Structure 1
């Protein structure tokens, strides 16, 4: 049995992780969630399974693995594998509605939001929220499935034309458009439910603020390492504990209207900042490998 199996889909994002594992001599194999699996086969594929399935996978293939991987990870857990960022984490990663509920349940401010599953309900939700607003796909990636509306007639025309954003699970969010101070969001990364690092991300258009290596080249996105306020750092750690998130990021922006820190996204697929030595001065993949080795040791 291998010590580690990495379940991944994106063709480029995890090269730095694989290189760090190779440099440390870790016994691992990396596989894509393709092919079939037998629900009666109760043999674990490795001592530790690390889930790296991206929500944006549906942008690369209509036959995306999100729901398939959720069931597979749960099956491997039942077979005895230690699953890092397991099925429950993946299911919350795949639902902005569940993320917002979790954030609000922890007492954190979020953008005013209504969750709907019918186009017929969008107008009433919009009237309750007020304009400007955005309509978001519940499952999105790299800014996909987000449209801003400034007036009710504009929204009505899009609803009538059947041109609302589409979410692969049929769920939409109608959400207040929050003017982020200086056009900047803060992404706070955690590892083993503790603060790892934080960056401010700017540029990349109104919604596409993905800091991953493959998203950054030519995107106009800029990233700066920051030391977030203790309240923000503590909030990110509270989110990680509540979700039982092994590794992942929480995104927050300062509402320029009232100075409120509004949390709006949880990213269980944390593939870390591009050019980490340049941005952070150190490589977080080394600490991630340390964590994975500790999980392998516990699973022996």
Structure 2
């Protein structure tokens, strides 16, 4: 029987999709790639395969999940299986360098970025940002890994030579112009089937760890008695959002065979948009969705249903 196979390394980020698949009575199988084997001489099962592999897998103890996934996706594609977010999507997921170059190819502005390997080269690269703020981040990251804000090269040196320095898993540190939003927020645009679904505003006033998944949310540890003005939600869907950049985003996704993704941008004080992340393992925030009545995982499940029906019509399934 043909079914939907979910390829991932983190069950907490996959449970919401499974619930949607079950609600739609769709056949599925969970492929957890925290370890495993592949028999290259055997064909894969029939069905469609949706990869939800994340660049931050190593932070959950799954250091080699992405390498395993790369092999699995190559195996599936070799046998002509339908793969949602396949090998090319994984290449972009694990390299912001490749993301930025691909975005620029389609006329999408990205922050000025320098890639460096080795502490001395990181410090040398900082000379290019003299007189203005800049950030560091990991090339292979996710969830804001390695993001630090600096005003001077001297501050960077203290960080790089100190005990708190975070070495990227692939060794590549990015130095990037700091784009300051007047209202301290970024926008994340969600796409399913390569088409725009909605945009969500994400408050960045408390830092750069911007994972929207419910499993990433840290609840307030203290709520003052009698507080009458609660802080605005960190994630809020931007109702009716439209912008010419959305068409360019869809072109990038189509050219790279990416069907499901979240793309993040920031606007500076002049309204100029800088795009800085393509997340091919997109998650959704339940509070923001409940407030607007738009549900990303439901859209994903319906899209997978249509893809499954293309190869194997579900008759009274």
TM-score, shorter chain, exceeding 0.5: yes
Any idea what SS the aligned residue of 1:182 has? Answer: coil
Paired residues of 2:4 and 2:29 also in contact (CA < 8 A): yes
TM-score by length of 1: 0.92
User: How far apart are the structure 2 equivalents of 1:224 and 1:107?
Assistant: 28
Structure showing greater relative contact order (alpha-carbon pairs closer than 8 Å, 6 or more residues apart): 2
CA deviations 1:93-141 (Å, max 9, x no partner) are 1111111111111111111111122222212321113331111111112
Extract unaligned runs of 5+ from structure 2. 221-230, 313-317
Matching of residues 18-97 of structure 1 within 5 Å? 18-61=18-61, 63-97=63-97
- The answer as to 2:280 corresponding to 1:268 is yes
Label 1:285 to 1:154 Cα distance change in 2 as closer, same or farther (>3 A): closer
Paired residues of 1:147 and 1:165 also in contact (CA < 8 A): no
Displacement of 1:285 in angstroms is 2.5
Displacement of 1:163 in angstroms is 5.5
User: How far apart are the structure 1 equivalents of 2:255 and 2:18?
Assistant: 29
TM-score by length of 2: 0.87
Any idea what SS the aligned residue of 1:123 has? Answer: helix
User: How far apart are the structure 2 equivalents of 1:46 and 1:33?
Assistant: 19
Which residue of 1 is the match for residue 159 of structure 2?
158
Displacement of 1:146 in angstroms is 1.5
Label 1:177 to 1:48 Cα distance change in 2 as closer, same or farther (>3 A): same
CA deviations 1:9-44 (Å, max 9, x no partner) are 223222221111111111111121144323523411
Instruction: Compare 287-296 and 36-45 and name the one that shifted more.
Output: 36-45
Larger Rg: 2
User: How far apart are the structure 2 equivalents of 1:280 and 1:68?
Assistant: 38
User: How far apart are the structure 2 equivalents of 1:277 and 1:114?
Assistant: 36
Paired residues of 1:5 and 1:45 also in contact (CA < 8 A): no
CA deviations 1:36-61 (Å, max 9, x no partner) are 32352341134111111222221111
Paired residues of 2:54 and 2:93 also in contact (CA < 8 A): no
Matching of residues 102-181 of structure 1 within 5 Å? 102-130=102-130, 131-161=132-162, 164-181=165-182
Paired residues of 1:45 and 1:76 also in contact (CA < 8 A): no
Paired residues of 1:112 and 1:175 also in contact (CA < 8 A): yes
Instruction: Compare 191-200 and 157-166 and name the one that shifted more.
Output: 157-166
Paired residues of 1:71 and 1:87 also in contact (CA < 8 A): no
Which residue of 2 is the match for residue 254 of structure 1?
267
Which residue of 1 is the match for residue 208 of structure 2?
207
Label 1:36 to 1:215 Cα distance change in 2 as closer, same or farther (>3 A): closer
Any idea what SS the aligned residue of 1:12 has? Answer: helix
Which residue of 2 is the match for residue 278 of structure 1?
290
CA deviations 1:220-275 (Å, max 9, x no partner) are 8611111333213223222222322110111011012x321000000101122323
Paired residues of 2:188 and 2:200 also in contact (CA < 8 A): yes
Extract unaligned runs of 5+ from structure 1. none
User: How far apart are the structure 1 equivalents of 2:16 and 2:62?
Assistant: 27
Label 1:255 to 1:99 Cα distance change in 2 as closer, same or farther (>3 A): same
- What RMSD in Å do the two structures reach over aligned CA positions? 2.1
Q: Give the total of aligned pairs.
A: 299
- The answer as to 2:234 corresponding to 1:222 is yes
